[in-house]
Amino acid sequence: MQITKRNVELRVDDSLMRVYVATPKPAGVYPGILFYSDIYQLGGAMLRLVNYLAGFGYVVAAPEIFHRIEPIGTVIEPDDLGRMRGNDAARRTAIAEYDADCHAMINFLKADSAVDPNKIGTLGFCIGGHLAFRAAFASEIKACVCCYPTGIPSGKLGKGIADSIHRVSEITGEMLLILGTLDPHIPETDRKTLIAALEQAKIRHQVYMYEAEHTFMRDDGYRYDPAASTSAWKEIIEFLGKVF
């Protein structure tokens, strides 16, 4: 399916947040997906993932998660310096600010004429996986995909300690976890803690683990695993299709 692309500006707490939106080209009403990037924001690798998902019949909206700190359109390079910069921006952003952005994005999707307001989901990578997890606390989120989400058991997200692992019971939609067994940022203990929390709260969920490293779905890095990424996308598309 062909898509159209546009940039939208939203104001949250008087900060201008750029949102990249990819929409199926055929006129219609589609499920909406709140897409969260990793710490490098919306560079080519992330935009390719946004566009890819939109081609399966979803309106995909991706905000710049550090809009309060970085200038509009900033792409952080995925190298050593970029990692320091992105992690610093993450630490300087209050958890309440991430949550405010989430609510603004959900309202944006609900108001889009191409989106079915009863069919909204979220998907994120790395820190974005954690943000997607928190987005699932909203009743509007029917499906949540967390790809190697960092910091959920430890509460590492932004300023202060995030209460994400303690709020699992607030999730009303379905959850899909994509994890790498070679990922040092989400060790086995964290994976077990996260899965146990979902099971204890009786959240409908699926878990797929790959013998892969962190960010294995990012096609511009040395840890990219095409086979694992292709398999993960197959599960993601099937999961979203089933929910919606």
Catalytic residues: 126, 183, 214
Three-state DSSP class for residue 112: coil
Question: In angstroms, how far is the first alpha carbon of the chain from the final one?
Answer: 17
**What number of other Cβ atoms are within 10 A of residue 79's Cβ?**
11
Contact 68, 97 (CB under 8 A): yes
Give buried/exposed letters for 17-53 (b at 16+ CB in 10 A, else e).
Answer: bbbbbbbbeeeeebbbbbbbbbbbbbbebbbebbeeb
Stretch (H or E) spanning 150: none
